[in-house]
Structure 1
Amino acid sequence: MSSSATAAALYAATISSASVTGAQPEDAKDKIHHLKDGKGFINPWESWRNMSGPAIMKAMIWRRYKGLANSPDTTPPTVTVRKPDFLPSRDTPILRATWLGHACYFVEFPQGFRVLFDPVFSERCSPFTWLGPKRYTEVPCQIEDIPTVDAVVISHNHYDHMDHPTIMKIKAKHPNVQFFVPLGNKKWFAESGIHEGVTELDWWEERDMNLSPAASKPAVSSTDVAASSAGEKSQSILARIGCLPCQHTSARTAFDKGVSLWASWSVESGGRKVYFGGDTGYRAVPELPKGVDDYGPEHSYPHCPAFKQIGDLRGPFDLGLIPIGAYDPRYIMSPMHANPFDSVNIFMDTKCRRAMGIHWGTWVLTEEDALEPPQLLKKALAKSDMPETGVFDVCDIGESREFK
């Protein structure tokens, strides 16, 4: 058995049974994102515009019929894919993040905590293996290649973010893994046969996770990060995981839109803090003439206030993993998908020191060209008087970056 496999086998997780009381907005207790009948969730901001699935599909088909739609060229080469180089053990002094395609990032924290965000390793992001968006870039590795996964954090239940075959492989390879999901998603895990190790959270809730050297079964305790670190700082691996708002929606079928919650997340361990944007919009933009800048001085559309609240109350963050793709056509996608100009604003609102772009380079979900998101990101950074590199970057699939 390798040293990394031994380390994984010797650690058992303890999740706090009570929510950690972190800073939150005054109106958080009002749960304004909950439907009054208790049967789902909404985006409670003026920056949101609701558009049903059938309406989106109809609009996209109409654009194609009228010859207005762009068909992205995915002929290789597009995004470079390389084999990841994971650290062989938990012993690392630095924050390290590896892009595994689309919204999936594997983050290695100082002092040993390992977390996987929105893992999807299947060929298609679809309920079917034979139909639906197919990868135009290969997966850089397999689940079996990742030495240690302590936690899996899921932003929402869309198929490009929560994938049944991938989840089951992770559970088989890493049986002590802990899953963190927004409200309403624990039922899906139970129906998939995963009855333990799933923590379901609402916006602004947090939980503490303590990894202790033990071969025992994961248990539930009220121990928090501060108390644990005093007695076991030389042995335990400590993490705080927080569920935060974002502007999106959810659905696994045509009949369950908004039944489960969507979220962005914060993860803190080893003295470093990461913000995971998952999948989100920033503002709802109406249909405008082609070429018109919706950030121009003549346009002023409400933007989602949650990101500034996150920055003010939970920031700053050492690293933000922020979506930059799946945004065109803008008038259809803007309520739920950020374009790079939105992404830079989310980056600034959340007070991230550095960021990496996610949610692009893997499947054709919308009409922008495959390599347009990073190109547009540079323009957005320049417009905000920020360097084009070194602050908010992109990388190859499978590439790791270190953040001091």
Structure 2
Amino acid sequence: MAIACSTSASADKPEYLDSNHHAEAQFFNPEQPVNHAGGLWAGLKILWDFTFNKPKDAAPSTSPTVLPLTSEALSALADNQFVRLGHSTLLFKLNHRFWLTDPVFAERASPLSWAGPKRFHASPISLDDLPSIEAVIISHDHYDHLDKGAIVALAQKTKRFIVPLGVGGLLQAWGVAAEQVIELDWHETHEMAGVKLTATPAQHFSGRSLTDKNVRLWASWVIKTSTVSLFFSGDTGYFEGFKRIGERYGPFDVTFVETGAYDPRWADIHMLPEQSVQAHVDLQGRWMMPIHNGTFDLAMHAWTEPFERALQAAAKYQVAITTPLMGEPVAILAPHAGSFWWREAVQEAVAITE
């Protein structure tokens, strides 16, 4: 059942008594607890690597090509199409209305405006030029998925914000009206304008500071109309839940699956590319769109590696992958393969230095 705001014992510590993955004021992964092996020492080692051992190709030396979008171009966009704006930010046109996932338009995926992962490229369209949005769909509260500045701006042109349990309170603290926010637990559905939005499980965690660990839920999303069926992974490690989602809600015309910011040390919360392709297979997807890559430097791998490894795994399992440019429209029921735009960015950078 969708709720406009959480029912709780207190404003700061909701109980969510009906949720079987919430206890002692925190959400948890019921099937596969997140591995914190190594504790503080492991965390410090990762921080050291991020600070001193970053590979030079973790970020592009020149900005990748982006196809600029205008409000006029979006107005003319045919129904049942999508455009990737960056990272996990996707704009869909469904039932002649626009739907937006995990909107991040900030220069940095960080609580600080002057430090933290910086964008490789500008968004194909500015917040001001976006059309009216039927709903913004949020997967979880991390900075590379939930941008406060974007939410504040979008509140003026968005009918509803569809979010996992607990995220609604954060949005309301930022000035979003309570009646604009719909909170869902896993397997709850909200339908509007002929689109069914269902929160589904993910293997992840949440928190925006040292004091709010896992107080808000994380989710993947099933998005369905009478003609199309989509899956949006948010952030997640690989887990058996993908098979159950596929059995219950699939097949899917396109799966938008996290493929980036991974490392064997945190594979339980961010899939390796080969696992991303396996998740797509489990979900019974037709076409796969690798997301969570190409915009921010959030791991130790080369920025082009997620695409290359995903393509290799897709070829092995005969999975159809689409890799459009940022800003390039794709028809949901007839996707195109896209291009190797990341390779072109590397070649262009080499040519500049020669």
TM-score where L is the length of structure 2: 0.83
SS at match of 2:198: strand
Give the corresponding residue for 1:381. Answer: 314
Preserved contact between residue 84 and residue 400 of structure 1 (Cα < 8 Å)? no
Residue 271 of structure 1, CA deviation? 1.9
Give the corresponding residue for 2:272. Answer: 339
Alignment counterpart, residue 199 of structure 1, candidates 175, 182, 190: 182
Give the corresponding residue for 1:3. Answer: none
Residues 103 and 201 (structure 1 numbering): CA distance in 2 closer, same or farther, change over 3 Å?
A: same
Give the corresponding residue for 1:293. Answer: none
Give matches, 1:193-232, under 5 Å.
193-195=175-177, 196-209=179-192
In structure 2, distance between residues paired with 1:202 and 1:62: 37
Give matches, 1:106-185, under 5 Å.
106-109=91-94, 111-172=95-156, 174=157, 176-185=158-167
Which string of whole-angstrom CA distances, capped at 9 and with x for unpartnered residues, describes residues 239-281 of structure 1? 1110000111000101211111000001112421211101111
Give the corresponding residue for 1:403. Answer: 332
Preserved contact between residue 90 and residue 112 of structure 1 (Cα < 8 Å)? no
In structure 2, distance between residues paired with 1:359 and 1:83: 20
Residues 53 and 170 (structure 1 numbering): CA distance in 2 closer, same or farther, change over 3 Å?
A: farther
TM-score where L is the length of structure 1: 0.73
- Aligned amino acid, residue 112 of structure 2: F
Preserved contact between residue 182 and residue 243 of structure 1 (Cα < 8 Å)? yes
1:312 equivalent in alignment to 2:250: no
Give the corresponding residue for 2:195. Answer: 239
Residue 95 of structure 1, CA deviation? 1.8
Which string of whole-angstrom CA distances, capped at 9 and with x for unpartnered residues, describes residues 91-113 of structure 1? 84x4211010001000112x313
In structure 2, distance between residues paired with 1:349 and 1:100: 26
**Structure 1 vs Structure 2 CA RMSD:** 2.5
Residue 141 of structure 1, CA deviation? 1.4
* Structure 1 residue ranges without an equivalent (≥5): 1-14, 19-28, 210-236, 283-303
Residues 399 and 57 (structure 1 numbering): CA distance in 2 closer, same or farther, change over 3 Å?
A: farther
SS at match of 2:194: strand
SS at match of 1:189: helix
Preserved contact between residue 326 and residue 333 of structure 1 (Cα < 8 Å)? no
- Aligned amino acid, residue 315 of structure 1: G
Give the corresponding residue for 1:392. Answer: 321
Q: Identity over aligned residues, as a percent?
A: 34
Preserved contact between residue 58 and residue 301 of structure 2 (Cα < 8 Å)? no
Query: RCO higher in 1 or 2 (8 Å CA, sep ≥ 6)?
Result: 1
Give the corresponding residue for 2:235. Answer: 279
Give the corresponding residue for 1:299. Answer: none
In structure 2, distance between residues paired with 1:248 and 1:52: 18
Which string of whole-angstrom CA distances, capped at 9 and with x for unpartnered residues, describes residues 183-213 of structure 1? 111111111111221000100111111xxxx
Residue 50 of structure 1, CA deviation? 3.5
- Aligned amino acid, residue 271 of structure 1: T
* Structure 2 residue ranges without an equivalent (≥5): 5-16, 334-354
Give the corresponding residue for 1:265. Answer: 221
Residue 51 of structure 1, CA deviation? 5.7
Residues 351 and 378 (structure 1 numbering): CA distance in 2 closer, same or farther, change over 3 Å?
A: same
1:34 equivalent in alignment to 2:44: no
Alignment counterpart, residue 45 of structure 1, candidates 21, 31, 43: 31
